[in-house]
């Protein structure tokens, strides 16, 4: 049997008619109306015209051939491959002249609706779109580790319904390198140089040599040591981490939290190889917090908002800037400007403050415009 998209039931209910009333006015059997609505009977032209006349709409508003899914070709980000013989769920976005397909995997992505289903065994894949292609062209892709980027994305969709944010989780160095490869529109970074004390700009210059970029303040946040509820081990100093009853979890190389922990240990004269658990690396702020909350570790580097969200204790070590690095070709684009507009909006800043450990007084300020 041929397939039609069928809006008869919706139109009938909107008109306030029962199946019997519609059947009587259209001159057909009630059983025919029921069969049409349940997809077991395709109406002929005469019946379709009668139903449309009673419901005061065009036949096409009641019955239509389903649209064939749009199919496009896209690139996978560097270092990724599709991992299944089945089509894989992906987010899709236009970044400059490139169409990127980002595989949706992991616990966070499992709760994200896909833009399309990708298949292929190379760097270029075929994607069957599940959304309007125009949505992929009004998307800002940000790579970074700040959990508040997810909240920013929700506020963006509320304030600018035709624009959205796709957040790709990654540490600061990963984000800068994705930006250098042209795979995202912006990178979120928090990297403090331990020698100079300067945040972010030295690393932008190193990873984005020759590119014109704007560095925009997104927030300042409190970073430190996440510890078990009640801090039952009484952790106060770097030296406490070498005690035999203490085990930590760490962040991966390239993350700002790993830099902070290393600098704190060095300042306290504590060799990293004497800290139990130092080599156990987790890839996000929440992964560190959840390991501590589950009792798998006593402490780990992270941010205050995660401690607050998971009811952990927090030992503050420093306040530092979290900045967005945006290449000049994207900075004036409508989608990026919409994102920055939302970042300085009162509703988003109030929610940011409620998360704990965030200061938005510098939000939106241009920290630097440079050719790195």
* Rounded (10°) CA dihedral 357, 184, 81, 210: -110
Residues 146 and 116 in one domain: no
- Give the range of the structural domain holding residue 289, as residue numbers without chain letter: 138-372
Of the candidates 348, 303, 338, 342, the residue with the CA atom closest to the CA atom of residue 321: 303
Beta strands in 236-364 (DSSP E): 250-251, 281-282, 299-303, 313-327, 358-359
Asked if residue 349 and residue 326 are part of one domain, the reply reads yes
- Tokens 């106060």, located at residue: 236
Looking at the fold, whether 91 and 223 belong to one and the same domain comes out as no
| Cross-strand bridge partners of residue 119 | 126
CA distance 140 to 165: 5
Residues 362 and 318 in one domain: yes
Q: Yes or no: say if 115 and 130 are a contact pair by the CB < 8 Å rule.
A: yes
30-37 helix and 19-26 helix, angle to the nearest 10 degrees: 120
Same domain, 114 and 12: no
Helices (H) and strands (E) in the chain, counts: 16, 17
pTM, rounded to two decimals? 0.82
Please state the φ and ψ torsions of residue 305, each to the nearest 5 degrees: -60, -35
Q: Do 209 and 297 belong to one domain? A: yes
For residue 112, give the CATH number of its domain.
Answer: 2.40.340
SS3 270: coil
Domain termination residue (choose one: 95, 119, 135): 135
* Domain finish residue from 13, 37, 64: 64
235 & 321 share domain: yes
CATH number of the domain that 42 lies in?
Answer: 1.10.260.40
Task: Give the whole-angstrom CA distance, residue 16 versus residue 13.
Answer: 5
**Distance from C-alpha of 30 to C-alpha of 16, rounded to nearest angstrom:** 16
Q: Are residues 282 and 164 in the same domain?
A: yes
User: Helix or strand or coil: residue 116?
Assistant: strand
Same domain, 170 and 269: yes
149 and 206 share a domain? yes
* Residue where a domain stops, chosen among 135, 152, 184: 135
Same domain, 229 and 217: yes
Rg (CA), the chain: 27
Q: How far is CA 30 from CA 15, 34, 37, 61, in A?
A: 16, 6, 11, 21
Measured between alpha carbons, how far apart are the two ends of the chain, in Å?
62
**DSSP 3-state of 10:** helix
**For position 1, what pLDDT does the model report?**
45
At residue 2, the pLDDT reads 53
Do 73 and 125 touch, CB atoms closer than 8 A?
A: yes
Tokens of 58: 């065009």
Q: Do residues 34 and 73 both lie within one domain?
A: no
Q: How many domains does the chain have?
A: 3
Q: What is the pLDDT along the chain (372 residues), one digit of tens a residue?
A: 456 788 999 999 999 999 999 999 999 999 999 999 988 888 999 999 999 999 999 999 999 887 777 899 999 999 999 977 789 999 999 999 999 999 998 777 778 899 999 999 889 999 999 999 999 999 999 999 999 999 999 999 999 999 999 999 999 999 999 999 999 999 999 999 988 889 999 999 999 998 999 999 999 999 999 999 999 999 999 999 999 999 999 999 999 999 999 999 999 999 999 999 999 999 999 999 999 999 999 999 999 999 999 999 999 999 999 999 999 999 999 999 999 999 999 999 999 999 999 999 999 999 998 775
């Amino acid at each position: 049997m041929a397939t039609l998209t069928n809006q008869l039931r919706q139109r009938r209910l909107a008109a306030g008619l029962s199946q019997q009333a519609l059947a009587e006015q259209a001159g057909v059997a009630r059983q025919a109306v029921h069969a049409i609505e349940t997809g077991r009977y395709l109406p002929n032209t005469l019946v379709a015209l009668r139903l449309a006349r009673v419901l005061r709409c065009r036949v096409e508003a009641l019955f239509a051939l389903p649209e064939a899914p749009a199919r496009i070709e896209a690139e996978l980000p560097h270092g990724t491959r599709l991992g299944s013989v089945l089509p894989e769920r992906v987010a899709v976005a236009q970044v400059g002249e490139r169409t990127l397909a980002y595989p949706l995997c992991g616990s966070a992505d499992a709760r994200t609706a896909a833009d399309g289903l990708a298949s292929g065994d190379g760097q270029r894949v075929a994607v069957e779109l599940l959304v309007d292609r125009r949505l992929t062209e009004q998307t800002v892709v940000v790579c970074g580790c700040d959990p508040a980027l997810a909240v920013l994305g929700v506020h963006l969709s509320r304030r600018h319904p035709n624009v959205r944010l796709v957040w790709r989780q990654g540490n600061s160095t990963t984000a800068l390198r994705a930006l250098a490869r042209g795979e995202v529109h912006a990178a979120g970074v928090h990297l403090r140089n331990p020698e100079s004390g300067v945040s972010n700009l030295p690393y932008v210059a190193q990873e984005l040599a020759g590119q014109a970029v704007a560095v925009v303040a997104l927030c300042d946040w409190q970073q430190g040591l996440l510890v078990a509820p009640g801090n039952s081990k009484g952790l106060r100093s770097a030296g406490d981490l070498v005690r035999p009853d203490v085990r930590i979890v760490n962040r991966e190389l390239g993350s700002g939290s790993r830099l902070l922990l290393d600098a704190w240990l060095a300042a306290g004269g504590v060799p990293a190889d004497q800290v139990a658990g130092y080599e156990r690396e987790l890839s996000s702020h929440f992964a560190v917090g959840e390991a501590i909350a589950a009792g798998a570790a006593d402490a780990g580097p992270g941010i205050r908002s995660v401690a607050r969200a998971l009811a952990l204790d927090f030992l503050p070590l420093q306040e530092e800037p979290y900045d967005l690095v945006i290449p000049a070709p994207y900075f004036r684009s409508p989608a990026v400007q919409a994102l920055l507009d939302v970042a300085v909006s009162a509703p988003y800043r109030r929610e940011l403050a409620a998360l704990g450990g965030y200061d938005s007084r510098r939000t939106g300020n241009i920290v630097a415009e440079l050719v790195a």
